Structure 1
Amino acid sequence: MKTLKDMINVGVIGCGSIAKFRHLPELDAHPQANIEAVCDANEDRAAKLARLYKSKYYLDYQELLEDSNIDAVIICLPHHLHAKVAVEAANAGKDILCEKPIATTLEEAEQMVEAAKSNNIKLMVGHNQRFAPSHQQAKQILDSGKLGKVTSFKTTFGHSGPENWSIEGKDSFYFTNDTIPFGVMGDLAIHKIDLVHYLLGELITHVTAMSGTFQKPTNHEDSSILLVRTHSGAIGTVTASWTYSMQENATVLYCENGVIRMEEGGEYPLMIQYNNKNAVYYKLGDLMTYERKEPEKSGVVFSFINSLLDHQKMLITGEDGYNALCVVLSAIEAEKTQSIVQVTTRMKQAVH
């Protein structure tokens, strides 16, 4: 059993944009997190970030895992490398925050979850949409029962593409690696799938999909629309695209007693419109605050560190990451077979 600590020493594996602009600034902003080391095969990247945060750097992640001063790791590597590194980190006794998607296959995701359990360490997946103030407030309202059952929904995540975010630019692994099974579905749609699971408190059970590659130099899809059904029977669409010149991140839930509108733009990130014509407008921090590179604003790292300090359950578990990946892979199968696929998970839904 791990003892309570006043400080969590963290090693960050992978020094690309997600580490540089989100995880490292958020670690630096947390009063009880210490950036003990960073790691990247590119020595220039690793050395620059190590100097910035006054930490050590490694070129080999296995050497970082052997560092006895490190309590936890954040994995910021290309998707197909997540599982191998996470399993080794679990075997080394390090708690883990892994960027989404948890892995590229269900077998790999299950290996990660089982390695964490067998080594009694915590595994969290970085589905950051759960931490948006509008989404957390909407979750409270839904759980209160005021709006009744969700009957249908639509959710969209679109931006201009990974080449405008990745540190590799047009050489992003999405454009150069054909071994990963998805493009925008594993990058953006998976965020919204996890958000649906979180808000509704139930899993997506059936999916069909259509996708295409319209603008990006990749063999993977750059635009997708999924039609899904949840366990209770609610139906909805999940839209994801790398072809939007203006970012879109909206979610609308149609309920028995009204409508919840989130992140549609404008002054109010959350609006509740009741069937009796009354409306409530919430002026909250918007979802894209962290995109402006403000430390701690995504909430992911703070939640991870606080869970380790307080020995609390992670808000986004390995099982959650597995279940979201399961929907994405089922959507890919559905499109290939031009059918509706039943999403069969082998893992119990996490309770939130």
Structure 2
Amino acid sequence: MSVRRLRVGVVGAGNIASIAQLPSLVARDDVELAALVTRREDPEPLMRRWGFHRAYGTVEDMLGSEQLDAIFILTPRSEHVHAARSALEAGVDVFCEKPLATRLDDAEMLERLATENGRVLMVGFNRRFAPVYESGRAAFSAAGATFCVAQKNRAGSEYRATFENAIHMIDLIRWYCGGEPVEVTARAAGGDQWQEDGVAALVHFDNGHTGVLMAARNAGNWGEKLDAYGDAVSAEILAPDSVRITRDGATAIREMTPEAYGWATATHTLGFAGAVDHFLERVRDRGEPLTSGREAVKTQALLEWILSAAGLPTEEQVGREWSSHAKK
């Protein structure tokens, strides 16, 4: 029996979208890329490359002209709220790149709107779908790991570096530790609060578990890793390449080498493809996504707690836009 193709709209087709979500969407036989919202004066090259049927200049134009099952919002974060709200109010399921919003109250509003309208809302915390992180989390019970140390370090900072990049590791700490945060201490480095040299944080959860965040922006190179311990189990992850699980004195190693993982790209090893597939499955079965709007709100609330504890701002700098993802 054939499966009805999902009509999907995409808002923004810049660098990250071209590397991460769009390749996963075009690889699926059950998806029709119905429409694209782009600011390019000539959208034809993008339409030909990805197979979009039509292009629009605004989200409102697309939603008013198309019958869509879902949209993917892949724009800079300052534009997430407007696009997500418009889609949810129009009765369309939403996949939104992280973070859901630049302010916690806006994220909460979108989560409420999705619930009230019975829509699927998922946020692109792709690390939860990366094979190495999935394997590490599966080594522990539903209660989670007693201790989790998550690091995302790199050379060179950027505007609101902790908000933009360390949020992935904060989400992983929540996922691995379980429970709700009850105490946070944090310290920031550097003299520029808008472009800091990094943040370290200690998070205590109501189930007795503890998470440690290290997000250095003055490191020698890029590196991402996570160690978790509990119930006589150790999980050591070097992302996106390997995971070591030790229990009962025996260690199992899984490596995501090109030979072992079918010459996979970062689209697969970092979980972008898994996140896309998970969202589309939830669109069909109406289940709650692993990284739902509700989960995204909790992660953003913990992020803001860490920022406040470190003496960093929790809102955008007036007159300054974040522009890592090219606006396309």
Shorter-normalised TM range: 0.7 to 0.9
Q: C-alpha displacement at 1:150, in angstroms?
A: 3.0
Give the match for residue 109 of structure 1. Answer: 107
Give the match for residue 350 of structure 1. Answer: none
**Secondary structure at 2:4 match in 1:** coil
Whole-Å separation in 1 of the counterparts to 2:44 and 2:271? 23
Instruction: Give the residue type in structure 2 aligned to 1:136.
Output: E
| Gap runs ≥5 in structure 2 | 313-328
Give the match for residue 165 of structure 2. Answer: 188
**CA distance 1:26–1:294, change in 2 (3 Å):** farther
Is residue 2:140 matched to residue 1:151? no
Instruction: Give the residue type in structure 2 aligned to 1:277.
Output: G
Whole-Å separation in 2 of the counterparts to 1:242 and 1:43? 36
Instruction: Give the residue type in structure 2 aligned to 1:140.
Output: A
Q: C-alpha displacement at 1:41, in angstroms?
A: 2.0
Q: C-alpha displacement at 1:108, in angstroms?
A: 0.1
Asked if 2 retains the 8 angstrom alpha-carbon contact of 1:155 and 1:252, the reply is yes
Give the match for residue 70 of structure 1. Answer: 68
Is residue 2:198 matched to residue 1:234? no
Give the match for residue 270 of structure 1. Answer: 243
**CA distance 1:240–1:221, change in 2 (3 Å):** same
1:49 to 46, 49, 57: 46
Asked if 2 retains the 8 angstrom alpha-carbon contact of 1:290 and 1:298, the reply is no
**CA distance 1:127–1:161, change in 2 (3 Å):** farther
Aligned residues: 307
Q: Deviations over 1:43-81 (max 9, x none)?
A: 34x442112123111111211121333221111122122
**Secondary structure at 1:137 match in 2:** helix
Q: C-alpha displacement at 1:113, in angstroms?
A: 0.7
Q: C-alpha displacement at 1:244, in angstroms?
A: 4.3
Q: Which has a greater percent of strand?
A: 2
**Secondary structure at 2:168 match in 1:** helix
Asked if 1 retains the 8 angstrom alpha-carbon contact of 2:139 and 2:235, the reply is no
Asked if 2 retains the 8 angstrom alpha-carbon contact of 1:6 and 1:309, the reply is no
Q: How big is the alpha-carbon RMSD for the aligned residues of Structure 1 and Structure 2? A: 3.0
Instruction: Give the residue type in structure 2 aligned to 1:328.
Output: L
Give the match for residue 332 of structure 1. Answer: 307
Output the TM-score relative to the length of structure 2.
Answer: 0.83
1:252 to 227, 237, 253: 227
**CA distance 1:231–1:43, change in 2 (3 Å):** farther
Q: C-alpha displacement at 1:119, in angstroms?
A: 1.6
**Secondary structure at 2:200 match in 1:** strand
Output the TM-score relative to the length of structure 1.
Answer: 0.78
Give the match for residue 140 of structure 1. Answer: 138
**CA distance 1:324–1:134, change in 2 (3 Å):** same
Whole-Å separation in 2 of the counterparts to 1:191 and 1:229? 18
Asked if 2 retains the 8 angstrom alpha-carbon contact of 1:125 and 1:318, the reply is yes
Taking only the aligned residue pairs, the percentage that are identical comes to 25
Instruction: Give the residue type in structure 1 aligned to 2:189.
Output: G
Asked if 1 retains the 8 angstrom alpha-carbon contact of 2:173 and 2:211, the reply is no
Q: How does 1:114-133 map to 2 (within 5 A)?
A: 114-133=112-131
1:204 to 168, 176, 181: 181
**CA distance 1:134–1:295, change in 2 (3 Å):** closer
Whole-Å separation in 2 of the counterparts to 1:26 and 1:209? 37
Is residue 2:6 matched to residue 1:8? yes
Q: C-alpha displacement at 1:26, in angstroms?
A: 0.8
Q: Deviations over 1:291-336 (max 9, x none)?
A: 3689986311111112212333212100111011001111121122
1:100 to 98, 101, 110: 98
Asked if 2 retains the 8 angstrom alpha-carbon contact of 1:184 and 1:241, the reply is no
Whole-Å separation in 2 of the counterparts to 1:318 and 1:43? 33
Q: C-alpha displacement at 1:42, in angstroms?
A: 3.0
**Secondary structure at 1:228 match in 2:** strand
| Gap runs ≥5 in structure 1 | 163-173, 176-182, 338-352
